[in-house]
Amino acid sequence: MPLWLIEQAPRAASKSAVRHALLRDAGIPVEVAPADIDERAIEQRADTSDAGDIAALLAREKARAIATRLPGRLVLGADQTLR
């Protein structure tokens, strides 16, 4: 029995092949819809320099960018930063 039981696959607001493979291997089908955002500009406007906070902010902005184009669809945003 597949893990994902909803008819529509979620959209991944990410270009990461590793993330897509992790979701697929976990039994979650995913449609790729990379967000076209200016990550550096978002980082510069952020009022934090904490790597975890920046990653969460970027993930949220990616998901928002795709969700505005696809209302009613589940959108997954993710990001990571290196220290």
Q: Which one of the listed residues 25, 47, 53, 79 is annotated catalytic?
A: 79
Q: Is 50 a catalytic residue?
A: no
Query: How would you write 5-66 as a 3-class SS string?
Result: CCCCCCEECCCCHHHHHHHHHCCCCCEECCCCCCHHHHHHHCCCCCHHHHHHHHHHHHHHHH
* Residue 69: its H or E element: helix 51-69
Catalytic residues: 79
